[in-house]
């Protein structure tokens, strides 16, 4: 029997991240969570799941986690998600969603993590030309939130 590699879930104290953790556990995957708890909650991480309170831009910390737990995949849910706030404070969104993701990608590459799953948003499409929106529709974000997520998608494509 082959042992499954561990999955690092960023933002695992948030709603979507914590549900991803539960689904991974139900499927038999070992899981590790990192969350800075700015908007997430420690109680959302199931008992028994290794939890690190920290930030994904802390590369020494992230790389220690990747190596210590033999991480084979990252599911990246950490970030800021409020569209009106992104319009009022775009630099916060470019930092939290783009710059921190760049740091995480760099750590993943440096540690040889072969799989990276990124939780993006339909906001990368802006006002879509068709409905339903398909992944091959033009991406024209109309707010900093959507643009910050698109920038992360582009970085991931470039290093894939």
Q: What is the 3-state secondary structure (H, E, C) of 36-68?
A: CCCCCCHHHCCCCCCEEECCCCCHHHHHHHHHH
145 annotated active-site: yes
Q: What is the pLDDT of residue 1?
A: 60
Question: pLDDT tens digit string along 44-74?
Answer: 999 999 999 999 999 999 999 999 999 999 9
In a domain, 58, yes or no: yes
Question: pLDDT tens digit string along 20-45?
Answer: 999 999 999 999 999 999 999 999 99
CA R_g for the chain: 16
Model confidence at 93, in pLDDT bands (50, 70, 90)? very high
- What CATH number has the domain bearing residue 122? 3.40.50.720
- Euclidean distance between CA atoms 116 and 76, whole angstroms: 7
- Euclidean distance between CA atoms 51 and 71, whole angstroms: 14
In a domain, 1, yes or no: no
Examine the pLDDT at 129 and tell me if it is beyond 90.
no
Question: pLDDT tens digit string along 132-150?
Answer: 999 999 999 999 999 999 9
Q: What is the mean pLDDT of the chain?
A: 97
In a domain, 140, yes or no: yes
Q: pLDDT > 90: what percent of the chain?
A: 96
Domain count, the chain: 1
C-alpha closest to that of 126 among 146, 144, 148, 106: 146
Report how far apart, in Å, the C-alpha atoms of 26 and of each of 47, 105, 156 are: 14, 27, 28
Domain membership of residue 39 as a residue range = 6-159
User: Is the entire prediction scored with pTM above 0.85?
Assistant: yes
User: ω before 25 within 30° of 0 (cis)?
Assistant: no
């Amino acid at each position: 029997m082959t042992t499954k590699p561990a999955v690092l879930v960023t933002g695992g104290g948030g709603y979507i991240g914590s549900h991803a953790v539960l689904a991974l556990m139900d499927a038999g995957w070992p899981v590790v969570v990192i969350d800075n708890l700015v908007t997430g909650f420690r109680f959302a991480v199931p008992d028994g799941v290794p939890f690190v309170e920290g930030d994904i831009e802390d590369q020494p910390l992230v790389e220690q986690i990747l190596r210590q737990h033999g991480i084979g995949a990252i599911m990246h849910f950490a970030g800021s998600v409020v569209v009106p706030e992104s319009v009022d404070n775009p630099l916060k969104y470019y930092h939290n969603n783009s710059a921190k993701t760049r740091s995480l990608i760099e750590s993943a590459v440096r540690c040889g993590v072969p799989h990276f799953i990124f939780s993006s948003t339909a906001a990368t499409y802006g006002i879509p030309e068709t409905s339903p929106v398909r992944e091959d529709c033009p991406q024209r974000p109309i707010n900093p939130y959507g643009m910050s997520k698109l920038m992360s998608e582009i970085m991931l494509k470039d290093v894939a």
